A and B are shown apart, each in its own frame.
Chain A
């Protein structure tokens, strides 16, 4: 069973719709026991970093999530802000992140002469790096829907699973063992996104 963590921020409905469409069982929950029993976890997220981390603490979910992901190796997929929470900190706030990936999130600052808007909202081609099971079978240049003002910067190069060009090369997917994160919205990216969720459900 895939458990989508319901901690009060995030577009849970769209992820549920997509997993069900693809034929995978999933449920949303904030119950520590359900999270402990999950076969896989999805950490969604929309909004502000501090509010998201505070909610995870307020609902008592940080310890159960860490026990599952770090202790028992339960595969986890962070989506959008959910990916940024996997890191240690964000320029957007002052709360520490989950700290599962050696990374921090920074505001997108495109060079002024490129006249790029922030937030980065829209479809961009993504360049996967070899080794991430999520991108297998998704073609060489899949495109995905992005909607973000901050991006994750990894301290360890081997954790970067894919890059996107937006006023520079930005990391847009991470992978470290059972821990996965994508900055874009696979639940809203047509067949390219479906392939990511399918790979997460079937291959991790």
Chain B
């Protein structure tokens, strides 16, 4: 199987695509429909769409919008943001999305277990946001505003036991920094679980993506790597194809 290379698309409350740094300072990227069409042409492996303000705003997933977006997508889509119930998941999946991403609700409820029972583990991806690194790495929720005592490895194992089908492991400190993933974190967590791990947070180049896979990730995701070019963060939507992709996967 080829490891996946996944663009992450962040939506703000006005349904615009943005890219953050350290979970704040959003830069406007463009219209989600235009970007998705480009990704169709590039035959991307999968996309991950996250509404980064839904939980903060207390908004439910915007099903009408997701239905329109899914109608344009010829690739698998994972969606996260504002999901608080099995009914939310059902509505999201009915709209044409194959996977739900659960974050803030995962540690404090039985939502992961319930959704896995109803829709199967492979439909449930749990996002683990991490602040700090090494011994100081801790799980955070609610846009990293609230820190938990959970350690990354133990928490990931617990989620696997709850029925999570996949872990989206995100380093908050590295978000948008384009200096590479937290490879030690990826290695530690991927070794501890038998479900796939998607690495996100910090990749800016194809070499970073490759390093993430070598550290043990089953898939590498990035917001920055596929939308920015150059030090000045000029917006250019791209995706590795052909020999570029082969070099990442080699």
User: From residue 94 to 123 of chain A, which have CB atoms closer than 8 A to chain B?
Assistant: 116-123
Given A11-B93, A122-B3, decide whether A47 and B119 contact each other with a Cβ distance below 8 A.
yes
Q: How far is the CA of A14 from the CA of B43 in the complex (A)?
A: 16
B128 → chain A, closest Cβ, in Å? Answer: 16
Closest residue of A by beta carbon distance from B44: A190
Does chain A have a CB within 8 A of B206? no
Q: For residue B123, which residues in chain A have a CB less than 8 angstroms away from its CB?
A: 46-47, 147
Is the pair B117, A188 in contact by a Cβ cutoff of 8 Å? no
Q: For residue B197, which residues in chain A have a CB less than 8 angstroms away from its CB?
A: 117
Is the pair A121, B45 in contact by a Cβ cutoff of 8 Å? no
Q: For residue A46, which residues in chain B have a CB less than 8 angstroms away from its CB?
A: 93, 98, 119-120, 123
Is the pair B74, A188 in contact by a Cβ cutoff of 8 Å? yes
Does chain A have a CB within 8 A of B54? no
Given A81-B120, A124-B1, decide whether A17 and B70 contact each other with a Cβ distance below 8 A.
yes
Contact with A along B195-215 (1 / 0, CB 8 A): 111000000000000000000
Q: How far is the CA of A193 from the CA of B76 in the complex (A)?
A: 12
Does chain A have a CB within 8 A of B97? yes
Give the size of the chain A interface in residues (CB under 8 angstroms). 37
Give the size of the chain B interface in residues (CB under 8 angstroms). 37
Given A147-B122, A149-B122, decide whether A121 and B2 contact each other with a Cβ distance below 8 A.
no
Does chain A have a CB within 8 A of B75? yes
Q: How far is the CA of A188 from the CA of B196 in the complex (A)?
A: 19
Q: How far is the CA of A11 from the CA of B117 in the complex (A)?
A: 16
Is the pair A119, B166 in contact by a Cβ cutoff of 8 Å? yes
Q: How far is the CA of A190 from the CA of B41 in the complex (A)?
A: 9
Q: For residue B95, which residues in chain A have a CB less than 8 angstroms away from its CB?
A: 13
Q: How far is the CA of A48 from the CA of B114 in the complex (A)?
A: 12
Given A119-B122, A122-B1, A123-B1, decide whether A190 and B75 contact each other with a Cβ distance below 8 A.
yes
Q: For residue A188, which residues in chain B have a CB less than 8 angstroms away from its CB?
A: 73-76, 98
Given A166-B1, A190-B75, decide whether A122 and B96 contact each other with a Cβ distance below 8 A.
no
Q: How far is the CA of A123 from the CA of B76 in the complex (A)?
A: 10
Q: For residue B117, which residues in chain A have a CB less than 8 angstroms away from its CB?
A: 48
Contact with B along A110-141 (1 / 0, CB 8 A): 00000011111111100000000000000000
Contact with B along A10-22 (1 / 0, CB 8 A): 0111101110010
Is the pair A14, B98 in contact by a Cβ cutoff of 8 Å? yes
Does chain A have a CB within 8 A of B94? yes
Does chain A have a CB within 8 A of B24? no
Q: How far is the CA of A120 from the CA of B43 in the complex (A)?
A: 20
Q: How far is the CA of A189 from the CA of B44 in the complex (A)?
A: 10
Q: For residue A123, which residues in chain B have a CB less than 8 angstroms away from its CB?
A: 1-2, 4, 45
Does chain B have a CB within 8 A of A9? yes
Is the pair A11, B43 in contact by a Cβ cutoff of 8 Å? no
Partner of B196, one of A17, A47, A121, A189: A121
Q: How far is the CA of A86 from the CA of B166 in the complex (A)?
A: 27
Given A119-B121, A121-B218, A124-B2, decide whether A11 and B165 contact each other with a Cβ distance below 8 A.
no
Q: How far is the CA of A92 from the CA of B3 in the complex (A)?
A: 26
Closest residue of A by beta carbon distance from B120: A47
Does chain A have a CB within 8 A of B10? no
Does chain A have a CB within 8 A of B71? yes
Does chain B have a CB within 8 A of A155? no
Is the pair B166, A121 in contact by a Cβ cutoff of 8 Å? yes
Q: How far is the CA of A16 from the CA of B95 in the complex (A)?
A: 10
Q: For residue B46, which residues in chain A have a CB less than 8 angstroms away from its CB?
A: 122, 145
Closest residue of A by beta carbon distance from B41: A190
Closest residue of B by beta carbon distance from A117: B196
> Would you give 6 A-B contacts (Cβ < 8 Å), ordered by A?
A11-B96, A16-B96, A17-B96, A46-B119, A117-B195, A193-B74
Interchain residue pairs A-B with the least CB separation, the first 7: A13-B96, A119-B122, A147-B122, A47-B119, A47-B120, A117-B196, A14-B96
- Measuring CB to CB, which residues of chain A are less than 8 angstroms from any residue of chain B? 9, 11-14, 16-18, 21, 46-48, 51, 81, 116-124, 143, 145-149, 166, 185, 188-191, 193-194
